[in-house]
């Protein structure tokens, strides 16, 4: 009886525990059902901000259920099969993207690695520095000058020292050979602005001849240029330059027995305005140029003034062009000007003041890295005030092209027509035509090879013997590091004329080192 009572009590206890567990499970199921109903009627919403503005991200129940189902189906015991059998899981998307195709957005422009915002067009913050090119196909140059940053400017400098020998040190008929040294230096300051640009350039050369006279031949130049980008495609350019050079004692412009080379000074100021934002292009340019000549040192120790050669030249040029295509831009150009001498009459009693008129037409070429430049042809007249002097006039051909036949090779072609004054009585001057070619080849990162050739023909208008000057040369530069290179060159010059006094040839070689920063 006792054992039967104990068994009955144990059975009743077990049934009570089972009933309590069933009630607890029913309560949990009811609570889960109410939470599911609340979730379906009110989705979970997270609000936040991104770089493009405020966005709302919605987590739907279908997305959560899909994640749970995928998690249950994955076999975590086998990572390889887990990766192989993984299915794409829906990712929460911003509310404005749901149900719509997102438009592709362009990448934002980053001007500076430290500044990720796009700058204003008028702000003068620095832009990324690119490799200097000449419009031809080139690769990055590991030996390009680094320069020195000075505020919003960059400074570049070079210094080259060479020594050599010339078979005709004076470039004259029956000239003697001698050794020489040459020093070339340059400094360039370039702005690093986002809108406008400016630069200052200075260069100088000193050559000393070791022919017994120890003559020193200097020349140099300095210039400043400012370009302003105005509104609606208008652009202005202002430039001021000074140059000092010398002319040979055997020059036809020097009619007395000079003891040495004579120097002269040239100051040039120019200003232009152009509009280049449309098919029809237009520009207007004005130039003022002042030339002063030093006194001539004679062989007897006395001096002679060249004040009658000092003059001022004023010109104005208007150009109109039409961009037929991005590669071809035909243009026409007209020029007018006056030349005024300090003295009303020169040493021969002649009035060489003149009026200048010129017109030309041509085409600008822009084939990107392969070919750039322009060529033109026209006619120019220099009308002297003195009726005894015949007008100096001629057909003009001018051009400048940069061509890259293949990578790391640059070919430059140039042609020009100029007028040269005279100091001989009755001589109205000469027409000077020149053509040049230069080839530069980067054999590798360290070695650059160059070759050049040219011809210059000077034809006096009064019938005097003409002169034709031929030049040819080759050179190399080998960079030891980013700051130093070994350089060398050879050049041959030959001048032909019907006058033996104007005929000569010379060959020179030189080698040295070049430093840059």
Enumerate domains of the chain plus CATH numbers.
Answer: 148-190+200-211+279-288+311-516 (2.40.160)
Mean of pLDDT values over 239-252: 90
Burial 111-141 (b: 16+ CB within 10 A, else e): beeeeeeebeeeeeebeeeeeeeebbebeeb
DSSP state for residue 429 in the 8-state scheme: -
**Best-predicted range by mean pLDDT among 10-19, 213-222, 433-442?**
433-442
Whether 444 has a pLDDT exceeding 80, the answer reads: yes
By DSSP bridging, strand 262-275 and strand 280-293 are: antiparallel
Q: Exposed, middle or buried: residue 19 (CB in 10 Å: 0-12, 13-18, 19+)?
A: exposed
Task: Out of 55-64, 162-171, 415-424, pick the least confident.
Answer: 55-64
Give the CA dihedral 113, 117, 121, 126, nearest 10 degrees.
Answer: -20
Q: Where are the alpha helices (DSSP H) in 74-112?
A: 79-84
Whether 21 has a pLDDT exceeding 90, the answer reads: no
Mean of pLDDT values over 273-285: 93
Closest to 506 in 3D by CA, of 476, 456, 477, 469:
469
Mean of pLDDT values over 475-498: 96
* Separation between Cα atoms, residue 184 and residue 207, nearest integer Å: 9
Mean of pLDDT values over 446-471: 94
* Separation between Cα atoms, residue 380 and residue 418, nearest integer Å: 9
Higher model confidence: residue 218 or residue 54? 218
pLDDT digits (tens, 9 = 90+) for 111-150: 333 333 333 333 333 333 343 444 444 567 888 898 999 9
Mean of pLDDT values over 320-345: 95
Higher model confidence: residue 73 or residue 464? 464
* Separation between Cα atoms, residue 359 and residue 333, nearest integer Å: 6
Mean of pLDDT values over 237-253: 90
Using pLDDT thresholds of 50, 70 and 90, give the confidence band for residue 390.
very high
CB atoms within 10 A of CB 250: 16
In a 3-state reduction of DSSP, which class is residue 392? strand
Can you give the pLDDT at residue 46? 43
Task: Out of 94-103, 131-140, 408-417, 424-433, pick the least confident.
Answer: 94-103
Can you give the pLDDT at residue 463? 79
- Does residue 261 contact residue 249 with C-beta atoms inside 8 Å? yes
Whether 421 has a pLDDT exceeding 90, the answer reads: no
* Separation between Cα atoms, residue 146 and residue 157, nearest integer Å: 10
Task: Out of 51-60, 218-227, 247-256, 337-346, pick the least confident.
Answer: 51-60
* Separation between Cα atoms, residue 244 and residue 114, nearest integer Å: 44
Higher model confidence: residue 80 or residue 461? 461
What's the first-to-final CA gap in the chain, in angstroms? 115
- Does residue 408 contact residue 133 with C-beta atoms inside 8 Å? no
Distances (CA, A) of 93 to 40, 41, 199, 257: 18, 19, 52, 92
Higher model confidence: residue 328 or residue 53? 328
DSSP state for residue 502 in the 8-state scheme: G
Mean pLDDT of all residues belonging to the chain: 81
Element (H, E) at 291: strand 280-293
Using pLDDT thresholds of 50, 70 and 90, give the confidence band for residue 424.
confident
**From the CA atom positions of the chain, what is the Rg in Å?**
40
CB atoms within 10 A of CB 508: 20
Higher model confidence: residue 512 or residue 176? 512
Q: Where are the alpha helices (DSSP H) in 51-201?
A: 61-73, 79-84
Using pLDDT thresholds of 50, 70 and 90, give the confidence band for residue 29.
low
pTM: 0.72
Task: Out of 92-101, 352-361, 387-396, pick the least confident.
Answer: 92-101
Whether 446 has a pLDDT exceeding 90, the answer reads: yes
Element (H, E) at 433: strand 430-442
Higher model confidence: residue 105 or residue 25? 25
Element (H, E) at 144: none
* Separation between Cα atoms, residue 251 and residue 306, nearest integer Å: 14
Closest to 327 in 3D by CA, of 380, 373, 295, 361:
373
CB atoms within 10 A of CB 379: 12
Whether 1 has a pLDDT exceeding 90, the answer reads: no
């Amino acid at each position: 009886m006792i054992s039967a009572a104990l068994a009955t009590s144990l059975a009743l206890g077990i049934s009570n525990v089972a009933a309590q567990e069933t009630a607890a499970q029913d309560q949990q199921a009811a609570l889960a059902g109410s939470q599911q109903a609340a979730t379906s009627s009110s989705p979970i919403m997270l609000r936040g901000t991104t770089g493009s503005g405020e966005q709302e991200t919605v987590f739907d129940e279908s997305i959560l259920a899909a994640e749970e189902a995928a998690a249950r189906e994955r076999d975590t015991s086998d990572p390889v099969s887990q990766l192989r059998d993984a299915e794409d899981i829906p990712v929460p998307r911003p509310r404005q993207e749901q149900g719509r195709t997102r438009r592709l957005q362009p990448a934002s422009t980053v001007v500076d690695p430290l500044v990720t915002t796009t700058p204003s067009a008028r702000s003068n913050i620095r832009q990324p520095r690119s490799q200097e090119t000449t419009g031809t196909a080139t690769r990055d140059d590991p030996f390009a000058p680094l320069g020195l940053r000075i505020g919003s400017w960059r400074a570049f400098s070079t210094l080259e020292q060479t020594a050599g020998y010339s078979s005709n040190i004076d470039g004259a008929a029956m000239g003697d050979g001698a050794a020489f040294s040459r020093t070339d230096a340059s400094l360039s300051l370039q702005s690093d602005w986002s809108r406008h640009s400016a630069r200052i350039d200075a260069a100088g050369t000193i050559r000393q001849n070791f022919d017994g006279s120890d003559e020193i031949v200097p020349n140099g130049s300095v210039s400043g240029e400012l370009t302003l980008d105005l509104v609606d495609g208008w652009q202005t350019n202002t430039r001021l330059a000074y140059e000092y050079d010398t002319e040979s004692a055997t020059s036809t412009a020097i009619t007395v027995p000079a003891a040495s080379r004579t120097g002269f000074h040239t100051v040039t100021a120019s200003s232009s305005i152009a509009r280049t934002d449309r098919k029809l292009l237009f520009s207007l340019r004005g130039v003022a140029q002042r030339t002063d000549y030093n006194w001539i040192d004679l062989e007897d120790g006395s001096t002679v003034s060249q004040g009658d050669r000092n003059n001022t030249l004023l010109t104005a040029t208007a150009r109109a062009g039409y961009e037929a295509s991005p590669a071809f831009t035909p243009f026409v150009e007209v020029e007018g000007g006056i030349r005024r001498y300090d003295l009303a009459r020169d040493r021969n009693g002649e009035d060489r003041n003149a009026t200048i008129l010129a017109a030309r037409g041509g085409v600008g070429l822009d084939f990107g890295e392969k070919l750039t430049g322009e060529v033109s042809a026209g006619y120019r007249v220099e009308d002297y005030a003195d009726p005894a002097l015949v007008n100096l006039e001629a057909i003009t051909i001018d051009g400048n092209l940069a061509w890259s036949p293949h990578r790391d090779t640059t070919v430059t072609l140039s042609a020009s027509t100029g007028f040269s004054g005279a100091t001989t009585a009755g001589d109205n001057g000469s027409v000077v035509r020149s053509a040049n070619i230069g080839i530069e080849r980067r054999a590798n990162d360290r070695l650059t090879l160059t070759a050049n050739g040219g011809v210059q023909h000077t034809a006096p208008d009064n019938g005097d013997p003409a002169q034709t000057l031929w030049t040819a040369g080759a050179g190399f530069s080998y960079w030891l590091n980013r700051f130093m290179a070994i350089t060398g060159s050879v050049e041959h010059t030959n001048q032909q004329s019907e006058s033996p006094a104007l005929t000569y040839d010379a060959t020179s070689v030189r080698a040295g080192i070049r430093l840059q920063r």
